[in-house]
Amino acid sequence: MTKGISTPIIIGTRGSQLALWQANFTKQVLEQNNYLVELKIIQTKGDTSQQWNTSFEKLEGKGFFTKELEDALLNSEIDLAVHSCKDVPTQQPTGLSITAYSKRANPFDVLLINKNKVDTTQFLQLQQNAIVGTSSARRKTQLLSYRNDIEIKDIRGNVPTRIDKLRKGEFDAIILAQAGIERLEINLNEFEVIVLDAPLFIPAPAQGVLAYQIRENDKELASICSILNDTNSSNLALLERKVLADFEGGCQMPLGAYATTNNGVTKLWIAQAKQWNSFPSRICIENPSLDYNYKHIFNNTANTIFISRDLDADSYLKQSLQDSIIGKSLIDFKAVDFSFNNTYDWLFFCSKRAVDFFFTTVDKNHMSTTKIAALGKATAFHLQQKNINVDFIGDSIGATSAEKFASITKGKVAFPMANNSSMSVQKALANFNHIQTENIIVYSNQPIQNIAQQHENILVFTSPMNAENYFSQFQLLENQQVIAIGKATSTALQQLNITHTVSQTPYEYSIVDEINQLSIIKPI
């Protein structure tokens, strides 16, 4: 008899709300194609551990939530198992295979914060020393790399149970997979919701994808399941799972892998740490290959790096690259005396230096009636690190930021700035009569003379002036590669005929990605 037509296809599933959603979604797709389908609920070790409050780390990719379903398949109790792909081991049991991968739902994690615990002046809006619930080693190490003041506590239970624990005040915030929340259509209006998207936060391999597992000799069902498969999701999931397999998916391994394809270019981000409380290594690879072994990828990043920026010991760059990176600005910055009468509707900061020099003179506690704007997320982040709330964040392009800013406000806007600022935002705002701008010179900058030549393999330039100053005195050595931070620096290097790559954002984690991509032996 033909399976699914004269006899039903038996789908095995866990009994949680999310697992049942996934199984019923699959059942609906098959039924729409005129197949008979039944569900069979099977309890797994992961469900039992959560039920009895047993302490565990989230064992992504090690069969914690799949083994009993696989046993049922091997015993012919069910025909098809529906899994969250991130829970499926890369090594399939003898006799079983993954026959299809669903179209990917939202792959990212989401941070849910109790609204009475929100601090908008802090990165990720988490108050100092917030208690965050997650049992994922991967989530722990990445969160701590950005906010090492956070206290992390394990949390157990299914998605609604975890949210209820947050609601009851057992945690200040929790981290969940956004796909599960969206699939269950959970209303999150009572919480502050922060999406932890890539490349800031690298999700688990194949997160958001459903994996369909069958007996490998069931050719008939394999053919039927082709209607469940999404080719693009399948290709990307296989790539991410290849990374997991190469790292041998250790039980406690904090590993994230995320691949995406845009305009024909595939990028693969990997974040991996030795343990949950160690600093993660990360990298972004363009056009990766399934033939490449990623196991030793971070052992190949042996180059030395110079960056034209003074580095604090606790900066992301220094913690990530340690002794391989040195930082020194090639520009001399000096404070300029200025007066501030606090009669402005807005203060608009276009650089981190402007923030530092302005608030060296002005007490931030006297700024309660003045709103704060920032050009770019990096400047906004710098303000937040100083416990200053940011009311408007523009992109890194002055003209477009000015247009967006002008659409939401009017009045007097002051720009703390350097003596030779390009004033791109102010020039664009001159087209709007309802806004009056005023420049406040808070610091001066000029190239440092008689700088030393750098012999590191990779030179990272953070501004046009740094690049112009260096190459006015030295030539690029044969073994050196150059990275520009931002479009303006890239333009300056182009004018100097210096071959370079560009870090698309000024965030230090993006700079690390770009550095490590230049350092590795390229996948073939």
The answer to whether 13 touches 39, Cβ cutoff 8 Å, is: yes
Q: H helices of 33-91, where?
A: 45-51, 67-74
Task: Assess whether 87 carries a catalytic annotation.
Answer: yes
For residues 273 and 256, is the Cβ–Cβ distance under 8 A? no
Say how far apart CA 172 and CA 122 lie, in whole Å. 14
Catalytic residue from among 47, 71, 79, 87: 87
42, 12 Cβ separation under 8 angstroms: yes
- What is the phi/psi pair of residue 440, to 5°? -120, 110
What dihedral do alpha carbons 304, 310, 315, 320 form, nearest 10°?
Answer: 0
Q: Can you tell me the distance from the alpha carbon of 384 to that of 194, in angstroms, rounded to the nearest whole number?
A: 15
Q: 3-state SS string over 169-215?
A: CCCCEEEEEHHHHHHCCCCCCCEEEEEECCCCCCCCCCCCCEEEEEE
Asked whether 262 and 236 are in contact (CB, 8 A), the reply is no
From 340, 337, 336, 312, select the one nearest 326 (Cα to Cα).
Answer: 312
Q: Shortest CA distance to 108 belongs to which of 234, 181, 193, 202?
A: 202
C-alpha pair distances (Å), 3 with each of 10, 33, 225: 10, 13, 12
DSSP letters along 116-134, please? GGB-TTSGGGBPTT-EEE-
Residues that are catalytic: 87
